[in-house]
Structure 1
Amino acid sequence: MPVVNRIADFSEDMKTWRRHLHTIPELGFDLPETSAFVAERLREFGVDELHEGIAQTGMIAIINGQGEGPTIGLRADMDALPIPEETGVEYASTKAGNMHACGHDGHTTMLLGAAKYLAETRNFRGRVALIFQPAEEDGGGAGVMVDEGIMDRFGIGEVYGVHNAPGMPVGGFVTSPGALMAAVDEFHVHIQGVGGHGAMPQDTRDPVMAACGIAQAIQTIVSRNHYALEELVISVTQIHTGTTDNVIPDTAYINGTVRTFDPKVQAMVIRRMQEIVDGQAASYGVEAKLEYEKGYPATINHADKAEFAVEVAKEISGEANVSAECNRKMGAEDFSYMLQARPGAYLFLGQGESAGLHHPKYDFNDEVAPVGASFFVRLVERAQPLT
């Protein structure tokens, strides 16, 4: 796999960093050991500025190039997942119930590798802002960092991110212009009825039947209110009610997820869901309250930046191993907040056959880290060349 020679030279160091990070998975914004390790490496590399405590445990490292120029942002997420690890590797998690099941240890390592190279060579003009982010999995750390003003504070003009992809050939890249990953929302329906004896339903207002009616009716939004060629997923994922066979309960609860790309589709879903909840509640004689929570917005690449990133990726992995025609993914990614704030692009980097993301047997492929680091550094050198 063609990687930058100097990065190949310290690829074993990168493996060591990654495997250490794998042993100390931390969640959300609470990443004291992870951020301390990253900060220590960055100081060793000789970055020009290190700004810690952004979004609690996030940080921005600045590396100055040669001469005046713009600032390009490169982002890695650092947090893990609350999943017990089942890999059996010697560097497995030392934190019970937590593991790096999404490869953020690898993403952090790729950006550290890029930092080491860029601090040594400085073969670019302007500046690089290395964004080490907490709470991608839960909490929207990217949005928090944007809200705390990183784009204006550090003069970031464009921003890029990469995520590993199990099942894709090792070192291959895919992306696409425009929408790449979905917006993710969640809904909660709280139903209040009147419980009673299961043998005397006429004396109750049954929340169980209301829950069934609401759940089934919600599924008609996709099939009857939505244009079939526009992506939309609505999944009811939880219904909780009742305690025993001969008691009709007082309450029921419904929960689920909505995935969209178009804000107009999202607005339609919210409207129809409210109408369904209100109408079904009236028909069953119960009270029902809908709580609809908007989550991460859709991840939408800027077309010219995606095209540029693809050209850089081809330099690293070869034209045959790079595609600009990635199918849209119904998963979500909080890098979307950074792309709302600045032009840029997000890409997937193949890590070969492995367990899937968020699986207890998943492990990042260390062969991939030098490829990702090489992509990051060539992105900088191409975007902000010395001549």
Structure 2
Amino acid sequence: MPSRPMPAEIETHLAEALPRLVELRQDLHRNPEIGFKEVRTAGIVAERLRELGLEVSEGIGGTGVVGTLRSGTGNRVIGFRADMDALAMQEATGLPHASEIANMMHGCGHDGHTTMLLGAAEMLARNPVFSGTIHFIFQPAEEGLGGAPAMMRDGLFERFPVDAVYGLHNKPNLPEGSFNVAIGAMLAAADTFTVAFGGQGGHGGSGAHLSIDPTLAAAQFVTNLQAIVGRNVSPFDQGVISVGHISGGNYDAPNVIPSRVVVRGTVRSFSPATRDLLERRLNQVARAAADAFGTTLDVTYERLFPSLHNPPEATGRIVSALRDRFGAERVDDKATPGTGAEDFAYMLEQSTGCFFFLGAGNGPALHSDRYDFNDNILADGVRYWVTIAQEELAA
């Protein structure tokens, strides 16, 4: 059972504010904006933070916003981060608040994350139950475009230094209102590769023997890729290599051997050593396939997000605080690491802190065209942030 109830004044204020938060969340959902184009969203965030009396800085890393709230005499500083961007996909929910923008939707719940953090800013500005400084970090472009490193290149932690930084993401198909974290490795490093095999096209029927066929090299490469993890990565470690795109030739010319075939895919890992190994072996396998069939080879390997690791001390402290507030049965600190990626990992490379999942209950998965953020968890998201503020900045 919980042993540390939420301050009564915050619960009262939260009950009054909740209908407004739902309205805001659904407004953001109707008006999604993709990475680095979150102009309207960032404007709403900045306006609401100013109305609460926070110091507001805009345009950090493109469209990022930071609001700073100080209370009491404490000199410890923490950061709370939420992401703001939507996905480039067409929504199929049919909801009254469905996206009004073609081929854009909040398919990952960043509308909810932004709303929960704004709600927490309101609760803590009106009820300062902490002593110290909080930087509320609203980040653009989490969905694969590098919004976190963009903010950091723009001086995020030099301009707004923190002793620790915290994140939160909703997760469908975890019990509604539960909290889920892995201590240590929680989410994978994510990389992208593009491999192009070049040959000499020809007639697939009468002149195949005169061609240099890049389709053979590509086929061998794709097949042999799957041996890398099984024969090079320890069974006590993890790695994933998947091909997501193959292109070559013309659909309307199936009798023509193409002169170029492109293979693209994703690579996931947890440890830096395994990440290095997978990149090295992928290049070797590509080279071997090209040499076997006499093609040219062009490999581009792009490291996107690092692996997200939750530091034991900081994470354990927040686990204890959440259990005191919500009850031990609602807080799981032994989550199975997942091979999804999250660019909050860049922030945890520069600072201690932690990243939790908040259960959203049963429903369509993240990035589904039928997904919608569960408004029933908005209040618990706000309580999460208030709990961390009280734990890390005890008044």
TM-score bucket of the superposed structures, by smaller chain: over 0.9
Give the residue type in structure 1 aligned to 2:289: Q
The answer for the alignment partner of 2:381 in structure 1 is: 372
| Count of matched residue positions in the alignment of Structure 1 and Structure 2 | 385
What per-residue deviation string (whole Å, max 9, x for no partner) do you get for residues 325-361 of structure 1? Answer: 0100100000000100100100000011111100111
Shift of 1:275: 1.3
The answer for the alignment partner of 1:166 in structure 2 is: 172
Contact 1:146 1:341 in 2 (8 A): no
The answer for the alignment partner of 1:279 in structure 2 is: 288
Which residues of structure 2 form unaligned runs of 5+? none
Aligned pairs for 1:6-45 within 5 A: 6-45=13-52
**Inter-partner Cα distance in structure 1 for 2:156 and 2:321:** 25
The answer for the alignment partner of 1:112 in structure 2 is: 118
**Inter-partner Cα distance in structure 2 for 1:24 and 1:245:** 43
Shift of 1:238: 1.5
Q: TM-score, normalised by structure 1?
A: 0.97
Contact 1:7 1:374 in 2 (8 A): no
**Inter-partner Cα distance in structure 2 for 1:149 and 1:37:** 23
* Partner SS for 1:367: helix
Contact 2:181 2:356 in 1 (8 A): yes
Contact 1:180 1:329 in 2 (8 A): yes
The answer for the alignment partner of 1:240 in structure 2 is: 247
Give the residue type in structure 1 aligned to 2:216: M
1:50 matched to 2:56? The reply is: yes
The answer for the alignment partner of 2:393 in structure 1 is: 384
**Inter-partner Cα distance in structure 2 for 1:210 and 1:154:** 50
What per-residue deviation string (whole Å, max 9, x for no partner) do you get for residues 5-39 of structure 1? Answer: 13233111111111111111000011111111111
Contact 1:297 1:337 in 2 (8 A): yes
Shift of 1:209: 0.8
* Partner SS for 1:101: coil
* Partner SS for 1:325: coil
* Partner SS for 2:375: coil
The structure 1 residue matched to 2:272, chosen from 263, 268, 272, is 263
Give the residue type in structure 2 aligned to 1:230: D
What per-residue deviation string (whole Å, max 9, x for no partner) do you get for residues 197-245 of structure 1? Answer: 1122211111111110111111110111221221100011211112222
**Inter-partner Cα distance in structure 2 for 1:325 and 1:35:** 35
Contact 1:316 1:375 in 2 (8 A): no
Shift of 1:305: 1.2
1:209 matched to 2:216? The reply is: yes
* Partner SS for 2:194: strand
**Inter-partner Cα distance in structure 1 for 2:307 and 2:42:** 28
Contact 2:45 2:65 in 1 (8 A): no
The answer for the alignment partner of 1:288 in structure 2 is: 297
Contact 1:277 1:289 in 2 (8 A): no
What per-residue deviation string (whole Å, max 9, x for no partner) do you get for residues 61-102 of structure 1? Answer: 000011131111000000000111111111111111111110
What per-residue deviation string (whole Å, max 9, x for no partner) do you get for residues 291-338 of structure 1? Answer: 111110001111111111212222343210110001001000000001
Shift of 1:152: 2.5
Identity of aligned residues (%): 39
Give the residue type in structure 1 aligned to 2:110: H
**Inter-partner Cα distance in structure 1 for 2:238 and 2:258:** 37
* Partner SS for 2:368: coil
**Inter-partner Cα distance in structure 2 for 1:95 and 1:40:** 23
**4+ runs of 1 displaced by more than 3 Å?**
1-4
Which residues of structure 1 form unaligned runs of 5+? none
* Partner SS for 1:142: helix
1:331 matched to 2:340? The reply is: yes
Q: TM-score, normalised by structure 2?
A: 0.95
**Inter-partner Cα distance in structure 2 for 1:231 and 1:9:** 46
Give the residue type in structure 1 aligned to 2:362: E
> Which range moves more in the overlay, 328-337 or 274-283?
274-283
Aligned pairs for 1:170-185 within 5 A: 170-185=176-191
The answer for the alignment partner of 1:229 in structure 2 is: 236
1:88 matched to 2:94? The reply is: yes
The structure 2 residue matched to 1:303, chosen from 305, 312, 318, is 312
* Partner SS for 1:211: helix
Contact 2:189 2:306 in 1 (8 A): yes
**Inter-partner Cα distance in structure 2 for 1:276 and 1:365:** 44
* Partner SS for 2:192: strand
Give the residue type in structure 1 aligned to 2:49: L
Shift of 1:181: 0.2
The answer for the alignment partner of 1:194 in structure 2 is: 200
The answer for the alignment partner of 2:138 in structure 1 is: 132
Contact 2:318 2:391 in 1 (8 A): no
Contact 1:102 1:362 in 2 (8 A): yes
**Inter-partner Cα distance in structure 2 for 1:198 and 1:140:** 43
The answer for the alignment partner of 1:71 in structure 2 is: 77
Tell me how large the CA RMSD over aligned residues is: 1.3
Shift of 1:252: 0.5
